[in-house]
Structure 1
Amino acid sequence: MTTVAAYAAPAAKAPLERTTIERREVGEFDVLIDIKFAGICHSDIHQAREGWGEAIFPMVPGHEIAGIVSEVGSGVTKYKVGDRVGVGCLVDSCRECENCKAGLEQYCTGGNVGTYNAIDKNGEPTYGGYSEKIVVDENFVVRIPDGLSLDVAAPLLCAGITTYSPLRHWNAGPGKKVAILGMGGLGHMGVKIAHALGAEVTVLSQSLRKKEDGLKLGADHYYATSDENTFKELRGTFDLILSTVSAPLNLDQFLSLLKTDGAFVNVGAPEEPVRLNLFSVIGGRKTLAGSGIGGIQETQEMLDFCAEHGFGAEIELIKADQINEAYERVLNSDVRYRFVIDTATI
């Protein structure tokens, strides 16, 4: 076992504090990663505050991890010491079910293992990226292309793949009108990726406060959802709406913006239930769907895509002792657009 420094929530809703954790020894197929940067995802806050249900404490959040390989097991073939790598939301899965064999480890029916707030196959809790080092099976590590700096690549391991996967699955591209609902950590990546895929991109945000940013990042149009005229003007417009919002919405209102056979896809996960009038999907044969991250192969594809198109996330780099302040700022939508921890400060 190796002792490393980390930031952990000792209990639900408690401020995160500096501590130490134990990492397992490097096994035959393991990779030891010196973590350089870790993104702060809204999911970290939901879980550290038990917004999504009972959690495991102490909790070291963080599933947007970028770093350098410092040791490999004797059986590792994919990576070598010095490689630039990333770890996202998963560190294992059953590897045997139909979904795993299809590269859909995020939908593993045998039970995947989260990077944190989960129990690993050795029976121990998993600890995430707010730490100095992590040991991960090589099959759940991805390569970060040379064209991406590690700091802006870290948020791609969740925010990037969470938006890339549904945009690809629902065929965002030339000739398609795509709306990104919410202009935050997920939303700003959705705008970049949908634009790079060739879609006509509209941002739907509460206000026009971030309009200039949205247009710079690739949006063709930008509307405020607080303006009732938006819903009149855009009725029946979109082939796809990707919702990154983690608060309950008036789904009937937003479903009215879809074309016939359009899809409203949720990647934001509110803590509270939402209401729906089924006539909103029956009329127009519309789809209300959800999507969760992506498999390991698709995550690698996403990283390569972002490098090819020359972009990572828009970030604000912080020190580890600013994590609690950053959590409050995320809740107040006061970040443009992803906090990333410089783990050298842990």
Structure 2
Amino acid sequence: MATATAPTRRKSRLNRQGRAAHVFMLPWLVGLVGITALPTLASLYLAFTDYNVLSSPEFIGTANFERMLTDDRFWQSVRVTLTYVLVSVPLQLAFALLLALILDRGMRGLTFYRSAFYLPSLLGSSVAVAVLWRELFGHSGLVNSALALVGIEGSSWLQNPQTALGTLVILNVWTFGSPMVIFLAGLRQIPEELYESARVDGASVLRQFGSITVPLLTPIIFFNLILQTIGAFQAFTQAHVVSGGSGGPVDSTLFYTLYIYQQGFTAFDMGYASALAWVLLVFIGVMTAGHFLLSKYWVFYGD
């Protein structure tokens, strides 16, 4: 009799645990459906409508997408964003890897340095840091004050179309902490025996780096590349604060996300803004899929 009831008790206990698990998951499920899934589907519908928030959406088919083809500011935002991504992400990853290599050599206070270098990644997309950046590169900012000490007269970096985007690139490179910590963890997983064998064979430091470190670190490089590229395409706060929401001067800092914001919350053209957002989503998805397809040619997993 006791033997017959044991499976029933176990089943009852598992059912209670399952119900408890669903109760704990309920807030996340509500958030997923109410905050992510439903608004995403709603924006897909609005992308095919003329909607100004104040009146009901009017279905116009693919007119919003056709409008992009002749929208000069759309193409300018694409150029600015691509330039930002293609320049800042490689520089950021290279700088992060360099510091990870330095920290991996071992030093006193490693935990402190690792935390200190990681801090910019937590603050880099905040409004406070963007305001600080605007003050640093202003006409009378700290950068020009430092240049004046060596006899160089600087200009307002943020008001010059040739340099405004460069300041935002520097800001993104400055947030190297997150990829640096991941690189450091990857470096710790490379067997020391490989370096010892290379040194015995007379390999130089550069040869060790090119033949051992980089190949075994390619999965980490690939992971950081995907994360930082997607993050760079979604950058918004820096450009909005530095340019005052205009994308200036002369649209030189008009990020794609900032243009979406202008269309949706300044011009109240929610239909066009939704179409722009879906183009960005599809592009990031295609780009990420392309990275994965190409990864088989350069990412080494050891098996």
In terms of fraction of residues, the more strand-rich structure is 1
Q: Structure 1-normalised TM-score?
A: 0.24
In terms of fraction of residues, the more helix-rich structure is 2
Q: Which of 1 and 2 has greater Rg?
A: 2
Q: Structure 2-normalised TM-score?
A: 0.26
**Greater RCO structure (CA 8 Å; 6+ sep):** 2
